[in-house]
């Protein structure tokens, strides 16, 4: 019986009220026994959820808010800043909540888009709020990453840029619809700000698309934000070899090269570009 209730809950959108459960035929006793045996959770007064909801979502249910902004994005691996964000929740107007963890960011913005699940805001609203909470390149990386992960559509992107805070106008004008990760966004903007010309998703026969081509002569690959481990090692080296075979010097950047030792990375790319240009002349 308990197993069935957990499945029923998943079908109801992972969360249901006791009334909703009753209409599916669940008795109070079967609900209690499923909670007691840990198959479902009693998340808030009269509200039950399946066990795979994460902590931010459970907190949202408990306080009657919705997972919002950077928290919602980070749940899906979308760029939400270099550090793991704290809890960002959307509350109803006039909703006061004192039981939240210290440092939680509370938002009261009006929802622009309807969204069925009661424990989270729509993708459009989550990204729009994130643009308010993020600065500069982080905001651009968030938009590009949300588009790449198909969390928002191409049409949404245009609307979000229009609705973004004025302070982001200049950085958002650098939007690249082909960018695949926050690491790529940060290094691309860093190169542009240092005066380099950058082409993105440059195609090399036999190698596929190189993340960036700087000044028409140096290839840049950025490692993924998620750790792929051994399964990426060989394909990445094969790609590097194929790109070099076409006469394009290539540099592969990992997180510390972009966020901790960027000056050295810039020096390296300047040197590589100079060498490639000298060799061509
Ligand atoms: Zn579920
Ligand atoms: Zn926020």
Does one domain contain both 80 and 161?
Answer: yes
Residue 59 in any domain: the answer is no
Residue 58 in any domain: the answer is no
Q: Which of 123, 149, 172 corresponds to the end of one domain?
A: 172
Does one domain contain both 188 and 243?
Answer: yes
Does one domain contain both 125 and 209?
Answer: no
Q: How many domains does the chain have?
A: 3
**Could you count the other beta carbons within 10 Å of the beta carbon of residue 3?**
11
Residue 20 in any domain: the answer is yes
Interval between CA 132 and ligand 1 midpoint (Å)? 31
Residue 177 in any domain: the answer is no
Does one domain contain both 145 and 216?
Answer: no
Interval between CA 7 and ligand 1 midpoint (Å)? 7
Ligand closest to 69 (CA) is 2
Does one domain contain both 74 and 151?
Answer: yes
What pLDDT, in 10s, does the model give residues 3-31?
588 999 998 888 899 999 999 989 999 99
Q: Which of 130, 147, 172 corresponds to the end of one domain?
A: 172
Q: Cα separation of 198 and 208, whole Å?
A: 17
Interval between CA 136 and ligand 2 midpoint (Å)? 15
pTM, entire model: 0.89
**Could you count the other beta carbons within 10 Å of the beta carbon of residue 45?**
9
What pLDDT, in 10s, does the model give residues 144-180?
999 999 999 999 999 999 999 999 999 999 999 989 8
Interval between CA 225 and ligand 2 midpoint (Å)? 21
Does one domain contain both 147 and 221?
Answer: no
Does one domain contain both 7 and 40?
Answer: yes
Residue from 206, 204, 228, 143 nearest 177 by CA: 143
CATH of the domain at 246: 3.40.960
Does one domain contain both 210 and 247?
Answer: yes
Q: Cα separation of 127 and 144, whole Å?
A: 11
- Model confidence at 1, pLDDT cuts 50, 70, 90, reads very low
Does one domain contain both 141 and 235?
Answer: no
Q: What domain range includes position 134?
A: 64-172
Interval between CA 40 and ligand 1 midpoint (Å)? 9
Interval between CA 52 and ligand 1 midpoint (Å)? 6
Ligand closest to 91 (CA) is 2
Task: Please name the residue ranges forming H helices in the chain.
Answer: 2-11, 18-23, 28-36, 55-63, 69-75, 123-133, 136-148, 154-163, 169-172, 182-193, 230-245, 255-259, 262-280
User: Is 190 a residue whose pLDDT tops 50?
Assistant: yes
Ligand closest to 53 (CA) is 1
Does one domain contain both 42 and 91?
Answer: no
How large is the average pLDDT for residues 109-136? Answer: 94
Does one domain contain both 21 and 119?
Answer: no
Which residue(s) pair with 214 in the sheet? 198, 218
């Amino acid at each position: 019986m308990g197993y069935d209730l957990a499945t029923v809950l998943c079908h109801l959108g992972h969360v249901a009220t006791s009334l909703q459960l009753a209409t599916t035929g669940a008795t109070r006793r079967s609900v209690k026994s499923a909670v007691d045996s840990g198959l479902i959770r009693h998340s808030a007064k009269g509200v039950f959820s399946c066990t795979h909801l994460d902590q931010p979502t459970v907190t949202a249910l408990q306080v009657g808010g919705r997972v919002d902004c950077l928290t919602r994005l980070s749940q899906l691996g979308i760029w939400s800043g270099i550090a793991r964000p704290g809890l960002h929740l959307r509350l109803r107007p006039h909703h006061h909540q004192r039981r939240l963890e210290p440092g939680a960011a509370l938002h009261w913005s009006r929802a622009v888009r309807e969204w069925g699940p009661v424990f989270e805001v729509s993708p459009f609203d989550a990204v729009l709020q994130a643009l308010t909470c993020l600065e500069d390149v982080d905001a651009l990386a968030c938009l590009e990453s949300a588009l790449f992960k198909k969390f928002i559509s191409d049409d949404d992107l245009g609307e979000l840029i229009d609705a973004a805070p004025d302070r982001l106008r200049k950085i958002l004008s650098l939007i690249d619809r082909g960018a695949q990760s926050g690491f790529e966004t940060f290094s691309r903007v860093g190169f542009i700000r240092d005066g380099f010309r950058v082409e993105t998703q440059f195609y090399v026969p036999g190698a596929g698309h190189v993340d960036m081509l700087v000044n028409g002569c140096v290839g840049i690959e950025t490692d993924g934000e998620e750790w792929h481990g051994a399964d990426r090692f060989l394909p990445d080296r094969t790609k590097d070899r194929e790109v070099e075979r076409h006469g394009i010097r290539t540099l592969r950047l990992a997180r510390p090269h972009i966020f901790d030792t960027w000056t050295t990375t810039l020096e390296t790319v300047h040197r590589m570009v100079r060498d490639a240009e000298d060799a061509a002349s």
